[in-house]
Amino acid sequence: MPYRSTDKTRQKKDAKRTAMMQAAVRVFAEKGYHAATVRDIVAEADVAIGTFYFYFPDKETLFVHLFEETAAFLLQAIDQALVSRTSFPAQLESAVQAYVNVAFYEPAVVQLLLVGGMGSVPSLSERRAEYREKLVRAWQRALTAALDRRQIEAQNTRRTAEALVGAFDEIVYNLLASPLAEQERSVAVRDMVQFGLRAAGYLYTPNP
């Protein structure tokens, strides 16, 4: 009879893998990618070094997994926020709020996504480019729809989308690094929304 792992066994394996990934986030955020070692990660996760190598061949593979999971989660949150609204101001506010919510829920992970030694991991360059392209296209779709509805000025929506992605990343990165991040959070969301409206040339039409 072939061996089949039980649900409890699989749950234990998943828990160990998750614990190591969470520990790695903390270690990478504290020490940086280059300085962090596998021994640092297993010590933080309180697992044996053999357990690490059962799941990951090296720290670069683990780092890539962290990036991919975070990128997918963040992209999904922003994309869903954009498609859940119809007017551009509502889409903008919803997407910005989603981004900031994820950033505050997993600040160390998002910081790794924004900086975290990406240039130190050659295997990430293509994945990072794919993630950025998907994010830019999500914003471009919202901008193009707003343009079709004549909610924003005539423009190159691709360039505006690129500008929004870059600007929002910079704002979130600096917000997370601030010692007053929690107090500044709601103001930052408001500022990001106002900036996005100006950058897109939103055409405000007062109610009759």
Q: What is the pLDDT of residues 113-148, one digit of tens each?
A: 776 555 567 777 788 888 899 999 999 999 999 999
105 or 112: which carries more pLDDT confidence? 105
The predicted pLDDT at position 208 comes to 41
What does the pLDDT read at residue 205? Answer: 63
Task: Return d(Cα 165, Cα 128) in angstroms, integer.
Answer: 13
pLDDT band at residue 9 under the 50/70/90 scheme = low
Q: What is the DSSP letter of 154?
A: S
DSSP-H helix ranges across the chain: 7-31, 38-45, 49-55, 59-83, 88-105, 107-114, 124-148, 157-177, 181-200
Q: Where are the domains of the chain?
A: 1-56, 63-200
So what's the pLDDT on residue 119?
Answer: 58
Cβ atoms 97, 40 nearer than 8 A = no
- What is the domain class of 1-56 according to CATH? mainly alpha
Query: Which numeric CATH code is attached to 63-200?
Result: 1.10.357.10
| Residue entry with tokens 């994820």 | 102
Q: From CA 136, how far away is CA 149, in angstroms rounded?
A: 20
How confident is the model at residue 41, as a pLDDT? 95
Name the amino acid, one letter, at 147.
L
